[in-house]
Every structure is written in C-alpha cells, then in structure tokens.
Amino acid sequence: MGIKQKLLHFYDKKYKSLLFFSISLLIISFIILGVNYAQTGELFHKGVTLKGGLTITIPVESAKDIHDIENKLSSDFPKADISVREITEAGKSIAVIIEAADITKDEIITALPTVGLTVTEGDYSVESMGSSLGARFFQQTVKALIFAFVAMALVVFITFRALVPSLFVILAAFSDITCTLAITVLLGMKLSTAGIAAFLMLIGYSVDTDILLTTKVLKRKQEGGTIFERTVKAMKTGTLMSITSIVAAFAGYLLSQSDVIKQIMLIITIGLVIDMIMTWFQNASILRWWMEKKKK
C-alpha cells in the first residue's frame, strides 16, 4: 500500500478523530480570544484605523532599528499604544511609520530625537484618526461581517434546500474566521480596516470549498460511489483550489513592500490553511456522519 492509499485509508477510518481535532482547534481559539478579552478588553488587537490615534510618517536615509525605537517609545509612554514599522523601496528603508494611540502629537514629536529620529517641521506627515470615528469604522465592519454571514446562510440554504447541511457550511466558515482571528492575536498583529476586509474575502474563499464539498456529496448522488468516494473527488478539486490560492497569497506577502497588503495577504494565507482543516476535517466529517446516520 502506497503513501497515498495509506493517507486515504486513515482519512476514511479516522474521520471522527479528525473531526475532534478540528473542534478542538475551535475551542482553543475561543480560549485564546477569551483570554485576550479578559486582559485587554478587546477580542483582538486593533490598529489606529479601527480605534483612533496618530500615524506619523518620517523619511529616513538609512535603515533604523524599528524594534528598538518601539521599545524605547513604549517605555517612555507606557500608557500609550505605540507600534513602529518601516517602508522600504528596492530593499532600502525610506521611511519610518509610527502609529500611536492615547498620546498627543507634540508629545511623540518631542520624544523622537531620543530614539535617533531627527525631524524638522515640514519633513514629516501626520494623520489623525479620532477615537469616535475609529469606533464607527469598527462598528460598520462588524455589521458588514454579520451581513455577509446572513447573506451567505440564505444563499446556501436556497441552494441546498436542507437546513442541516447548510448549518454545517456556516459552522465551517465561522470556525475558519474564529481560528484565523485567534492566530492573529497570538502573532500580536494589530488589525486595520484592510485586515477586516481580508476576513470578508476569507468568508468567500471558505464558502467556495464547503459548497463544492456539499454539492458533490449531497446533490450528485447520481454520479455513484460511496459518500467517502464522492468526498475524495471533491477534495481533489478543492485542495488544488486552496493550494493555488495559498501560493499566490503567500507570494504577495513576501514580495509586497506595503504593510497593508502584507497584512491582507498574511491573513488570507493563514485563513486558507485553516479552511482546508475546517472543510475536509470538520465539514466533511460532520456531513458524512449525518448522512450515514440518516441513511440508517
């Protein structure tokens, strides 16, 4: 028996164990988000565009130690939420971006010389986002996510005309979003409005593979074969779709010079990997379990 046959045999006989593994990941993700909420009052780390604050862009002629700058500024202003990143062009550092909340422009500009950043009036740019406006943006993005899930649920239910399989698709998409969000918390990633947009895109990617699976298993019984055989056929197509998307997204993450695009590509890459687990371990296993039980 070859490696491929061994893997398929394991997938066939241990599908309930794989289901337990995917559910365990979801539970762990809930714990991570819950702990972060207990410690910070937020489910995840928000960037300036979501909670308000200052974004200061300072041109530089040589590379700076952004971690050292961030540590020193955070030490000088412990109550402020400060993050530092750099902009590069052709591998050369051209600017440093400082994002800060709960601090005034004058306070942070005055402190810049102490961290090796010399600035003069007119040589830097400052963008300010009010906390109320940031909160409004966040509320709108939450509403967009809820609307996306509701619309997705309606489309899936209309497509399959069956409540239980439709709920399985929704559960898989929800699990994908939740686990990906938990990983961003572990990575210390501060989500911006672009990051939320990436989660909206991720819902679409997740639903594609789940609908492919459910259609193949539930609506194409005339093609013959067992539930497991139809699942494997769907997996071949779905896995190829996911892998090509993962490669494209990860390449975008590696090659992009924009931190905004990098965040989008990284979230999509993580989400697609999680989606493969939630589709082929969770949704496929629950769907098979339900159909076999219904058949009996």
Give residue-wise pLDDT tens across range 5-18: 888 888 888 888 99
The whole-number pLDDT of residue 55 equals 82
Which position has the higher pLDDT, 188 or 274?
274
Whether 49 shows a pLDDT value over 60: the answer reads yes
Q: Does pLDDT of 275 surpass 60?
A: yes
Cβ atoms of 290 and 164 within 8 Å: the answer is yes
Where residue 188 falls among pLDDT bands split at 50, 70, 90? Answer: confident
Sign of dihedral through CA atoms 193, 194, 199, 205? positive
More confident residue, 264 or 75: 264
Query: CA 182 to CA 36: how far, in whole Å?
Result: 9
Weakest-pLDDT range from 140-149, 236-245, 278-287 = 140-149
Query: Residue 207: is its pLDDT beyond 90?
Result: no
Q: Of the given ranges (28-37, 153-162, 271-280), which has the lowest mean pLDDT?
A: 153-162
Q: Which residues pair with residue 83 across a beta bridge?
A: 99
Structural domains of the chain ordered from first start: 3-46+132-295 (1.20.1640.10), 53-129 (3.30.70.260)
What count of Cα atoms within 13 Å lies in the side-chain half-sphere of residue 102? 10
Give the span between the Cα atoms of 84 and 86, in whole angstroms. Answer: 7
pTM of the complete model: 0.84
Residue 1 has pLDDT above 80, yes or no: no
Return the higher-pLDDT residue of 107 and 248.
248
pLDDT for position 155? 79
Q: In a 3-state reduction of DSSP, which class is residue 290? A: helix
The pLDDT tens digits for 126-184 are 777 766 666 777 778 778 778 877 887 787 778 777 778 888 888 888 999 999 999 99
Mean pLDDT of 181-192: 90
pLDDT of residue 7: 81
Which band of pLDDT confidence, cut at 50, 70 and 90, is reported for residue 193? confident
Give the list of residues 6+ apart from residue 81 with CB closer than 8 angstroms, or none.
53, 100, 101, 102
Strands (E), the chain: 53-59, 81-89, 92-101, 125-129
221: confidence class by pLDDT, cuts 50, 70, 90: low
296 burial (CB, 10 Å; 0-12 / 13-18 / 19+) is exposed
pLDDT at 222 over 60: no
Residues 79-138 pLDDT 10s: 777 888 787 776 677 788 888 777 777 787 788 887 877 777 777 777 777 666 667 777
Per-residue pLDDT for 33 more than 80?
yes
pLDDT mean over 31-47 = 88
